[in-house]
Amino acid sequence: MRLLRSTDLALRVLMRLAVAGGSSPTTRDVADGMDVPYTHLAKVVAELQHMGLLQARRGRGGGLTLTEQGRTASVGAVVRAFEGSGDVVDCDGPTPCPLNSACRLRGALRRAQEAFFASLDPVTVEDIVAEPTGALLLGISRGPGPGA
């Protein structure tokens, strides 16, 4: 299973904000630091804000901050929210699978998908930024200093 790009970005934004300390980077700062298009990241940030996992303030002194709910959010819940509840394979697509009525693979894949999500459910955003990851994230987040 491969995560959608938006799921990957959502998790990385949450991780980045979890180690931000007192700073509130802007969406543009985070996009630049992650080397992703601003417009794509802005959509992800809007969804995370809608979920209550971060706050986004506009204007002078604005920026992104992780909420307490975001800090303790289940990685499994975040992945589910961004990935949706669709099947791993599209058995009913434009050319439906001829095995659809008697296929046992679809159920096995659905169980595997749920096991994947279930294994991420007890993991929180705080867990995935614990040392040594947090220190590494801080170094990446700062980027090269002035004059570098």
Mean pLDDT of 59-72: 90
Query: Are 53 and 78 contacting, i.e. CB atoms less than 8 angstroms apart?
Result: yes
Note the pLDDT of residue 143. 47
| Helix pair 5-18, 75-83: axis angle to 10 deg | 150
More confident residue, 86 or 55: 55
% pLDDT > 90, the chain: 54
Mean pLDDT of 59-83: 92
**pLDDT higher than threshold 50 for residue 146:** no
Note the pLDDT of residue 74. 97
Mean pLDDT of 42-63: 92
Mean pLDDT of 81-86: 88
pTM value is 0.83
Mean pLDDT of 76-87: 90
Lowest mean pLDDT among 7-11, 25-29, 45-49, 130-134: 130-134
Q: Which domains does the chain have, with CATH numbers?
A: 5-85+98-141 (1.10.10.10)
Q: Which one of 4-18, 54-68, 97-111, 134-148 scores highest in mean pLDDT? A: 4-18
Mean of the per-residue pLDDT values of the chain: 87
Rounded to an integer, what distance in angstroms lies between the CA atom of residue 54 and that of residue 65? 6
Residue 57 bridge partners (DSSP)? 63
Mean pLDDT of 72-80: 96
Q: Which run of H or E residues covers position 3?
A: none
